[in-house]
Structure 1
Amino acid sequence: MKLVILFGPPAVGKMTVGQELEKITELKLFHNHMSLELVNQFFDFGTPPFERLDRIIRFAFFEEIAKSDLDGLIFTYVWDLNQQEDTDYIEEVAQLFMNQGASIFYVELKADLSERLQRNRDGHRLACKPSKRNVAASEASLLHFEANYRMNTLENEFGQKQILTIDNTTMEPLEVARLIKQWLNQQSRE
């Protein structure tokens, strides 16, 4: 079992790359908005009921998947690397899978802000993420995250953890997914 934590800033392409990776591997995708969009139909983002339900849904899936005979999971996340709470959350997810014998892989995506602002308006993104359809609000949120959060790693920040960093500013999602698959296969052989 593999857990691939695919992270990076908003509109970097996590979901789309995850979808392509799912197509060329036996891994299943749980992109961040799968639970966010469901819960947001009932409660406003960030409210206590929203946070509780999102966590319950995600961890119910994670626990069942970790115990299953599936090959693994791709989980996408916007991770504020300066927020201990975010790091603790990711470590809790990783530990849940490690407790079942899974290997954990971190894949970080980076892209120029101008490219991410363009991707924020992409039809596929808007179709899959109803909460992003108010493009002006989504863009304001993206710029807020950019100004206030550190969503990409510093050199050697992850120490011994298995991490692949890809600048996908000018890359197609399938090309990125193929690089990730190649890296995962190489890591599994070592």
Structure 2
Amino acid sequence: MRLLVIFGPPAVGKMTVGRAVVERSTFRMLHNHAIIEPLLDVFDYGTPPFTRLLGESRVRVVEEAVGAGIDLLLTFVWGLDLQSDLEEISEYVRPYVERGADVAFVELAADLDTRLRRNRTELRLAEKRSKRDLEWSDANVREMERLVMNTGTRTDLPGVLLLARHPHLRIETDDLDAQETADRILTWLDGLAAGGSAGD
């Protein structure tokens, strides 16, 4: 049983890459907006009931996936500098860790211009109704730059401490499409299964 967490900034391609991985593996995916979008039909983003139900729903899906023996792929925007995000991600990973499953992290990175282009792709807008106001959505992508969403030279970030406990691969996706990125992920996972290196 395996858990794969794909993280990175908004519009870097997490869901699209995740789908490409799922198509060629035993993974099933719960992407970041699969729960967000239905909740937005009822609650405003960031309100206490929205936040509470989002976290509880994700945890329950993960717990049930573990119980069913499912290889699960999760996608997130993760503020590596935020202790609260570390606690949240740790809670989603915990059921797989406790079962002794293989847990791995893939970090996708791309520059802001690339992500602003990807923010307007047909699949993204079809799957994520909340992103269809493009003026707002582009501004949100820019505004999220205040967070540390990719690893760098700093090793003291809360999120880096969790990454140090599990295999972690970083992929620069500016010049890669989803299938090429999925190729790299699946090759890396195959290497891990064969006892290869945890790094890229």
TM normalised by structure 2 equals 0.91
- Measure the CA separation in 2 of the matches of 1:102 and 1:7: 19
Structure 1 counterpart of 2:61, one-letter code: F
RMSD of the alignment, in Å?
1.1
Q: Structure 1: where are the runs of 5+ without partners?
A: none
- Measure the CA separation in 2 of the matches of 1:63 and 1:159: 23
- Measure the CA separation in 2 of the matches of 1:56 and 1:88: 13
Alignment of 1:168 onto 2:167: no
SS at match of 1:121: coil
- Measure the CA separation in 1 of the matches of 2:189 and 2:164: 18
> How many Å apart are 1:160 and its aligned residue?
4.4
Match of 1:25 in 2: 25
1:67-146, aligned counterparts within 5 Å? 67-70=67-70, 72-146=71-145
SS at match of 2:151: coil
SS at match of 2:45: coil
CA contact (8 A) 2:59 2:91 kept: no
CA contact (8 A) 1:67 1:100 kept: no
Count the aligned residue pairs. Answer: 188
Alignment of 1:34 onto 2:34: yes
TM normalised by structure 1 equals 0.96
Alignment of 1:8 onto 2:13: no
Tell me: CA distance 1:159–1:61, structure 2 relative to 1, closer, same or farther (3 Å).
closer
> How many Å apart are 1:167 and its aligned residue?
0.2
SS at match of 1:42: coil
> How many Å apart are 1:169 and its aligned residue?
0.5
Q: Which runs of 4+ in 1 moved over 6 A?
A: none
